[in-house]
Structure 1
């Protein structure tokens, strides 16, 4: 109940505004995953190309 009282204004405004940062969080998670998998990649151009490919696959 204390959490509800502390966050009441934020909770009620989430019903008024249909905005979310879920897309940004998902993209950030993909970038972190690619960085973790390809941490030994020497060429930044290849790394950037791989990031662009992975992040544009869902769109």
Structure 2
């Protein structure tokens, strides 16, 4: 299936942009722009999202860090909040959040 093969190549090309340690923010911006032109036909929603978040995406090339850990912690806290419906007071909720985080380090 040629379209599927092209989509796979585009996905791998996007991954290579971020895995190359020599890529600075300017080169990254250029490569992402080229990738977006080629990928617009296959991944229109992804291209739109990347365009909306380009500043944050390009910031990755400065320090090579992401907010993945913080996003994971926020997700766990939201799950606890959803299951905390029966907690009688805020201290029980706070203690559950702190215990969950303490065992994940």
Decide: shared fold, TM above 0.5: yes
Is 1:49 matched up with 2:95?
yes
Higher relative contact order (CA 8 A, sep 6+): 1
Q: Note the alpha carbon deviations across 1:8-37, whole angstroms, 9 max, x for none.
A: x76565345221101100000000000001
The normalised TM-score by structure 2 is 0.44
| Distance in 1 (alpha carbons) for counterparts of 2:102 and 2:96 | 10
The normalised TM-score by structure 1 is 0.71
Secondary structure of the corresponding residue to residue 39 of structure 1:
helix
Q: Which runs of 5+ in 2 are unaligned?
A: 1-35, 38-46
Name whichever structure is richer in helix by fraction.
Answer: 2
Q: Look at both structures and tell me which one has the larger radius of gyration over its CA atoms.
A: 2
Where has structure 1 moved over 6 Å in runs of 4 or more? none
Q: How does 1:10-29 map to 2 (within 5 A)?
A: 14-29=60-75
RMSD over aligned Cα atoms: 2.1
